[in-house]
Amino acid sequence: MAIKHFFIMGGGVMSCRIGMILGRKGYKLTVYDINPEALKNWRQQFDAIGSVMKSNFGMTEEELERALGNIALTENFEDVIKADLVIEAVVENMEVKRRVMEQIEEKVGEDTIIVTNTSSLAPSLIAANMKHKERFCAWHFNSPNTYTEIMGIPETSPEVVKTLRELSISAGEVPIVMLKEKTRYLANNCLQVWFMEALDLIIDGYGTYEDLDRSWMLAHKHDRGPFAIMDFCGLDLRLAQAQNEYQKCRDQGQDASVWKKRIDFLRGMVDKGELGVKSGKGFYTYPNPAYEDPKWLRKELLEDNGEF
């Protein structure tokens, strides 16, 4: 199945990251958003993320320029008709994603592959109202990490999974094919526990986010801690995921108070426009966040020696 043109639904952070990954390899992409403001601010968002990708993850200026040259922005949803593959990358909300899937199906041909880039919702529920579920799959990009996760639903055609696997490889991404459906895939299930435990520790006053990041970075020889990674993912995404988990607990008659606490904390930041890298401020300030300074990790030792 030859894929030449991609159409991304949603002009947020993931449209930039997916655009960088596929565009640098020569694939043509069109990014659509229902909100003209999102497209107006898209280039600024692309440049901010691109700066981090260059300084931290080895992407070159040439790759970013090549990617940018292969991406077109549109306010016209009718342009979806030209796509061989449509990537849904809208807000992490089940009802919104279902509605988007129905809108896409109304426009595209039966051979067009439709994927969701959801990071935490069940693909089978997103596709619940689709007429042609055989061409649907989850294809989750984990930029800046160089792998994708491919997760079909029972109706997904093996040919679609095969195509997504081949596309991942051609884009320089390691394809991780799930054996069966599981919300949040493999790594994100582990990350969810990590992120939420980190949030609880600072919300409950056991330490600062800087010290938690520093302790993790020193202990595990990583270049970033959980709060730096949350900034890169987007704090609005973390908030949406926490809201989904809160509602899930409520629906199952479980105590949701721990999720309410996390939601209140994250909403306090998001309401102030502190979304992370894409807004220039989250837990850290961007560009040039404190954790990129080699001296930051050991500031007490350096301060004692008068070197900080």
Looking at the fold, whether 164 and 16 belong to one and the same domain comes out as yes
| Structural domain ending residue among the three candidates 177, 197, 213 | 177
Report the pLDDT value the prediction gives residue 285, as an integer from 0 to 100: 96
- Which CATH number is 162's domain given? 3.40.50.720
| Structural domain ending residue among the three candidates 158, 177, 196 | 177
Looking at the fold, whether 166 and 243 belong to one and the same domain comes out as no
- Per the structure, the complete domain to which residue 163 belongs is given by 5-177
Looking at the fold, whether 162 and 25 belong to one and the same domain comes out as yes
The token pair at 67 is 């990617």
CA–CA gap between residue 198 and residue 217 (Å, rounded): 13
Tally of domains in the chain: 2
Among residues 126, 186, 132, which one has the least CA distance to residue 157? 132
Residue 298 CA: distances (Å) to CA of 153, 217, 219, 231, 301: 48, 11, 13, 22, 6
Looking at the fold, whether 246 and 167 belong to one and the same domain comes out as no
HSE-CB at 194 with a 13 A cutoff on CA atoms is 14
Looking at the fold, whether 145 and 227 belong to one and the same domain comes out as no
Query: In a structure prediction context, what are the per-residue pLDDT tens digits for the chain, which is 308 residues long?
Result: 689 999 999 999 999 999 999 999 999 999 999 999 999 999 999 998 998 898 878 899 999 999 999 999 999 999 999 999 999 999 999 999 999 999 999 999 989 999 999 999 999 999 999 999 999 999 999 877 789 999 999 999 999 999 999 999 999 999 999 999 999 999 989 989 999 999 999 999 999 999 999 999 999 999 999 999 999 989 999 999 999 999 999 999 999 999 999 999 999 999 999 999 989 999 999 989 999 998 899 887 777 666 65
Report the pLDDT value the prediction gives residue 143, as an integer from 0 to 100: 74
Looking at the fold, whether 209 and 249 belong to one and the same domain comes out as yes
Looking at the fold, whether 110 and 193 belong to one and the same domain comes out as no
Angle at 236 between CA 235 and CA 242, to 5 degrees: 90
Residue 157 CA: distances (Å) to CA of 111, 132, 153: 11, 10, 9
- Is 84 domain-assigned? yes
Beta bridge partners of 276: 281
| Structural domain ending residue among the three candidates 119, 149, 177 | 177
- Is 182 domain-assigned? no
- Is 308 domain-assigned? no
Looking at the fold, whether 68 and 142 belong to one and the same domain comes out as yes
- Is 217 domain-assigned? yes
Looking at the fold, whether 27 and 87 belong to one and the same domain comes out as yes
- Is 270 domain-assigned? yes
Looking at the fold, whether 146 and 197 belong to one and the same domain comes out as no
Alpha-helix runs per DSSP H in the chain: 13-23, 36-40, 42-57, 61-69, 94-107, 123-126, 158-170, 187-203, 209-220, 226-233, 235-251, 257-270, 299-304
- Is 303 domain-assigned? no
274, 235 Cβ separation under 8 angstroms: yes
- Is 89 domain-assigned? yes
- Which CATH number is 270's domain given? 1.10.1040.10
Looking at the fold, whether 94 and 116 belong to one and the same domain comes out as yes
Rg of the chain over CA atoms, in angstroms?
20
Looking at the fold, whether 25 and 133 belong to one and the same domain comes out as yes
- Is 221 domain-assigned? yes
